[in-house]
């Protein structure tokens, strides 16, 4: 597991209303897939803070130059340097496949845009604090230690950091 590459991304999916019959399932599938690609520890800190939002747009709110709107835009926000080249390729391929499957439209894989966006060091926050990568690694290690201890039963609380 890559605790040194600790990050908790946010995923935003934009599509015309009705594209996805099961938006909640798509959101959880995307978040779960990203955790697997990142190979982060399966601890509450990551499970509760790796999330996706599916935004439904009105008809005509999304269009290319020709006015065609049958597209999906997926934006993944991570901290800088979180995804190496192999992980970038995996995220884009697997997210594209998940989107097309969730829509029940294999051709949507040709019209799905996946953007990987990196926040600068300390440029995003969690628990009311703008974290550095080192602080997140420290918080993850602390939670892993808490979970391993006999008192680890209270494992769903936020790490201090």
Quickly state the pLDDT bin for 1 (edges 50, 70, 90).
very low
Strand, coil or helix: 94: helix
Say if 33 falls within a structural domain: yes
Quickly state the pLDDT bin for 4 (edges 50, 70, 90).
very low
Nearest one of 1, 73, 74 to 41, comparing CA atoms: 1
Say if 156 falls within a structural domain: no
Q: Which two structure tokens, joined as six digits, stand for 149?
A: 């201890």
110-135 b/e with 16+ CB inside 10 Å = b?
Answer: ebbebebebbeeeebebeeeebebeb
Give me the mean pLDDT over the 147-153 stretch. Answer: 68
Say if 50 falls within a structural domain: yes
Q: Is the pLDDT higher at 16 or at 161?
A: 16
Quickly state the pLDDT bin for 141 (edges 50, 70, 90).
low
Give burial (CB, 10 Å; 0-12/13-18/19+) of 31.
Answer: buried
Say if 131 falls within a structural domain: no
pTM for this entry: 0.78
pLDDT recorded at residue 3: 47
Say if 74 falls within a structural domain: yes
Residue length of the chain = 161
User: Scanning the structure block, which residue is given the tokens 């599938």?
Assistant: 29
Among the ranges given (91-95, 107-111, 133-137), the one the predictor scored with the smallest mean pLDDT: 133-137
pLDDT recorded at residue 153: 52
Say if 132 falls within a structural domain: no
At residue 155, does pLDDT exceed 80? no
Distance in angstroms (rounded) separating the CA atoms of residues 137 and 4: 6
Mean pLDDT of the residues in the chain: 83
Q: Which two structure tokens, joined as six digits, stand for 5?
A: 């590459």
CATH assignment of the domain containing 10: 3.30.429.10
Per-residue pLDDT of 15-53, as tens digits, reads 999 999 999 999 999 999 998 898 887 777 777 778 899
Q: Is the pLDDT higher at 6 or at 135?
A: 135
Residues 6+ positions from 97 with CB-CB distance below 8 Å: 109
Provide the residue range defining the domain that includes 93: 3-121
Q: Is the pLDDT higher at 55 or at 161?
A: 55
pLDDT recorded at residue 50: 84
pLDDT recorded at residue 131: 67
User: Scanning the structure block, which residue is given the tokens 């005509």?
Assistant: 60
- Count of domains observed in the chain: 1
Give burial (CB, 10 Å; 0-12/13-18/19+) of 59.
Answer: exposed
pLDDT recorded at residue 40: 80
Say if 160 falls within a structural domain: no
Say if 138 falls within a structural domain: no
Distance in angstroms (rounded) separating the CA atoms of residues 17 and 49: 26
User: Which of the 8 DSSP states describes residue 8?
Assistant: -
Distance in angstroms (rounded) separating the CA atoms of residues 65 and 83: 31
């Amino acid at each position: 597991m890559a605790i040194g590459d600790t990050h908790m991304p946010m995923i935003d999916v934009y599509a015309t209303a009705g594209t996805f019959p099961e938006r909640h399932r798509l959101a959880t599938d995307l978040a779960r897939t990203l955790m697997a690609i990142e190979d982060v520890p399966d601890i509450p800190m990551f499970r509760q803070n790796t999330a996706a939002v599916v935004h439904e747009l009105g008809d005509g709110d999304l269009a290319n130059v020709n006015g065609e709107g049958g597209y999906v835009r997926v934006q993944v926000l991570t901290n800088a340097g979180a995804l190496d080249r192999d992980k970038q390729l995996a995220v884009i391929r697997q997210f594209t496949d998940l989107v097309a499957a969730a829509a029940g439209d294999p051709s949507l894989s040709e019209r799905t845009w996946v953007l990987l966006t990196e926040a600068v060091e300390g440029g995003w926050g969690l628990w009311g604090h703008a974290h550095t990568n080192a602080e997140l690694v420290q918080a993850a290690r602390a939670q892993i230690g808490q979970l391993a201890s006999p008192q680890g039963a209270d494992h769903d609380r936020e790490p201090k950091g």
